[in-house]
Chain A
Amino acid sequence: MPYLLVFPSVAVIIVFLVVPFVEAVIQSFFQTSPFGTVSVFVGLHQYRLLLSDPAYARSLLITWYFALLVIFGGLSISLFIAVLVTRKVRGLAFYQIAFVWTYALSPAVAGVIWALLFDPAVGLGTYLISRLTGLFINYTTQGDVALLIVAGAAIWNMLGYNICFFIAGLQNVPRELEEAARVDGAGPWRTFWRITFPMLTPTTAFLVFVNTIYAFFQVFGLIDIMTKGGPGGATEILVYKLYRDAFIRVRYNFASAQSVVLFVIVALTAIFQLWVSSRRAVYLR
């Protein structure tokens, strides 16, 4: 009976995850013509190509840099805003909704908004920045700018989700503990870092995990809409490079090898994070 009950989800996982993955592993040992008419076994050729490809190393670096920006930047801003909107202020509900709604937008829509905002010729953001600082930014040619803007869009799009969880986490912090700290003479700053923040670690650990997956995979739509991996490959994070190699440059086998490597990288990252969070997070019993 229990097997029967888990059967549907196991079946779905096998059909949609296991089979394609095995397929990808097999494909990564072949060299196939674009239309699949000729297929030659090439052993580890694709992996050798991958490891000696400077573009792949660069993509890996960009991915880590991007993920760090999105995770730490995004979570810091979210936590800051969450603390602000849990205070007793007039119009609290309005502020909470105002910050949370961005999550309701799909990455594609967020991408369109940010692309228009920073359009080099007609963007409002570009105009304001050049007015305020005299700097002319063009994310279609400047790689660093492009990465920052895409990271900004990614953070903005995820802000609502992060804030929701932080608000919930903050509301679960027992008032007594904070009050006790205050009675003992701790200022608000100290109270936050010594009491509130440690109490938030389960939430934070969960959000770090979710945001890692987000930064590695789900920003795909955003990048596709905004930069298509450009300029000069500056926003070509691993998952996007994989897509371009497979479906634009029609190098399916090379991309299969990449997907296998990407799987290993993400799995290791996830295991590491779970290990760290299970050791460090404070769970109140």
Chain B
Amino acid sequence: MWSYTFRRILATIPTLLAVVTVCYLLLHGTPGGPFDEERKVSAAVLANLQAKYHLDLPLWQQYLYYLNSLLHGDLGASFRYADWSVNELVAKALPVSAAIGGSAILISLFVGVFLGTMAALRQNSAVDYFVMLLGNAGHVFPSFVIGPVLILVFAVWLKVAPAGGWDDFSPRFMVLPMLLLIFINVATIGRVMRGSLIEVMHSNFIRTARAKGLPMRTIILRHALRPALLPVVSVMGPLAITSITSAIVTESVFSLPGIGKLIVNGAANRDYTLVLGLVVLVTVIAVTLNLLVDLAYALLDPKIRY
């Protein structure tokens, strides 16, 4: 297990390096530099500035400098927000995204597994139809459609929650965004859990357990749940990527001051360094989540032993 973990961690390095390199080259290919202002600075000052930020060096040396600062956790300075480094902007925005995204994914994991289990055990019941409907709806209605509709229904028509905004982790402002994220995640998790538990319940070892006369409760909790959870775990990797996408949309829809909003604003303002820094950061997060999912899978599945 340890050697597998180690190898799996090593395998993430090329991915990260590739993303950083491609993004860096893309960025470098854009015309204009950080000191191309309306008011031209004199050649000597420009040379000094460029020397200070290593802009006078050949590309590969600049790249190595950039990698070095990344390794030290420095994402660079923002082009547009004067006096702000990307790190400072991230420090303000990340807790918001993490609070909403993290709690939403935990809640949807529990709700999704619970609903999926109920649906699988009572096929063609109301719960079952609800889970299937939810799964289809999650397929058909994208987050940027559901989000505004949620606002329309709960904020505009019913007036039970604010339409968006943020007030220092006040739960009032977190309800609707979390509802949206939970809806999207539960649609997937519930459907996968339902399918896999139905399959497990038809397998031989469950029939044996029934033949032994074990109570249904024991069969499900002790025998069926663990193998049925495996597909759910394996879907968590892609779901983490989707969650990041829907987090960007969610933060835009509800105007939350999170990482997603920062990226969209940065892109709209053409704040290259900010977007690059955030892309690198989020890629690291995504790759780490994928890694954790893989490790959890190896831990849960007795058939996989490294």
Same complex: no
A interface residues with partner B (beta carbon < 8 Å): none
What is B's interface to A at a CB cutoff of 8 Å?
A: none
